[in-house]
């Protein structure tokens, strides 16, 4: 997982770094390189990961301004919410334990 392999892994990950990493990971679905993810790009990426229709529902929730694209600003808001939820000691950094809990939760939700 990218979070565990970060150079900041020993000191924890700051919110801005977390947002950058999530944005970069999510924008891999941006196959036309316009800096945003269309519904078609998201759907193709979701199907490639075996998520299919579930991925389409997630897209609708992530497209906060309902313009048919997931943009960097929307990804940053999502990342900030995820970060805040997982920064249980509220020190502004995700520690190794907090990252492990996040990964474990994601794996559990994915059924791994």
Residue 9 token pair: 């892994």
DSSP strand E in the chain: where?
Answer: 13-14, 36-38, 69-71, 93-94
**What pLDDT is stored for residue 56 in this prediction?**
75
**What pLDDT is stored for residue 10 in this prediction?**
61
Is the pTM above the cut of 0.85? no
**What pLDDT is stored for residue 106 in this prediction?**
79
pLDDT in tens, the chain (112 residues): 444 444 444 689 999 999 999 999 999 999 999 999 999 999 898 888 877 666 778 888 999 999 999 999 999 999 999 999 999 999 999 999 999 998 898 788 766 5
Taking the C-alpha atoms of residue 66 and residue 68, their distance in angstroms, rounded to an integer, is: 6
């Amino acid at each position: 997982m990218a979070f565990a392999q970060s150079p900041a892994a020993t000191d924890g990950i700051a919110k801005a770094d977390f947002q950058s990493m999530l944005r970069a990971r999510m924008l891999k679905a941006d196959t036309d390189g316009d800096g945003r993810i269309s519904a078609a790009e998201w759907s193709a990426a979701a199907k490639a990961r075996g998520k299919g229709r579930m991925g389409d529902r997630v897209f609708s929730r992530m497209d906060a301004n309902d313009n048919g694209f997931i943009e960097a600003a929307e990804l940053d808001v999502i990342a900030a919410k995820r970060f805040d939820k997982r920064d249980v000691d509220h020190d502004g950094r995700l520690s190794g334990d907090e990252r492990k809990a996040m990964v474990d939760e994601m794996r559990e939700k994915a059924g791994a």
